[in-house]
Amino acid sequence: MTTAEWARHWAQTWRSAWPAGDVEAIAALHAPYGDHWAGIGRCHRGRDGLRAYLSDCFDAYTRAAEVWFAEPVVTGQTASVEYWAIVHPGGVARTVAGCTVLLFGPEGLVVEARDYSHAEPGAIRPPARRFLADHLRPSVEALRRAYPDGVPDADRLPLLAALHDEFSDRNLAAVVAAFLGGDPLRVANDAAGDRPSPDQVARVRARLEASERSADGEHGDSGEDHDRAERDPA
């Protein structure tokens, strides 16, 4: 697996385990000897230290946390993951937003995590464009299959045009920005600009369809057509 895949797995695990209070699922992501820094000067040593820290946090919650995680930004063996959470320690709503910088070892376990966060009183939901909705994630994966080496410049605008009929403007910007690792606002501006030629759009659409057929052939028909219809609910 790659650093990007390890980081996505880390985020996906936190996304489900934090609301569930599943200390062990999160601890299993961490190397036994790794350090978890929770802010300045608070270092939790090894997997056991992380367990103790998480247990103290989760035991204080009186209801399940609401959490959001962004697409990881990866450089070499390091990844940064932005997150947002609404928690209720002692029954009082509190919003925490931050970013965790992760260093992965050769087996995909976190050998060092440095968490930087800011908290505000009350339940404050994140801006709509900040985090990708779960029902859009399969679309990002489909783009990765179609363009495993990234999108060449010649395909960027045709790709936006080819996807335009499948998504609202907001969701189109969110999906493509998550795939490219860019800014949704910039993607939205590009999508609203000059439209590429029909031939360019048809070429890109054919590539997307061929990739989807290949994925269906590898995994069998798992209701992809139905999933596509559900991606962008009104």
Q: What is the pLDDT of residue 174?
A: 85
Residue 149 and residue 217: Cα distance in Å, rounded?
Answer: 21
- C-beta of residue 31 within 8 angstroms of C-beta of residue 50: no
Q: How confident is the model at residue 219 (pLDDT cuts 50, 70, 90)?
A: low
Q: What is the pLDDT of residue 227?
A: 45
Q: Give the rounded percent of residues in the chain with a pLDDT score beyond 90.
A: 65
Region 157-162: mean pLDDT is 94
Q: How confident is the model at residue 230 (pLDDT cuts 50, 70, 90)?
A: very low
Per-residue pLDDT tens digits for 85-143:
999 999 999 999 999 999 999 999 999 999 999 999 999 988 755 777 778 889 988 99
Q: What is the pLDDT of residue 17?
A: 97
Q: What is the pLDDT of residue 151?
A: 92
Region 70-86: mean pLDDT is 93
pLDDT at 181 > cutoff 80: no
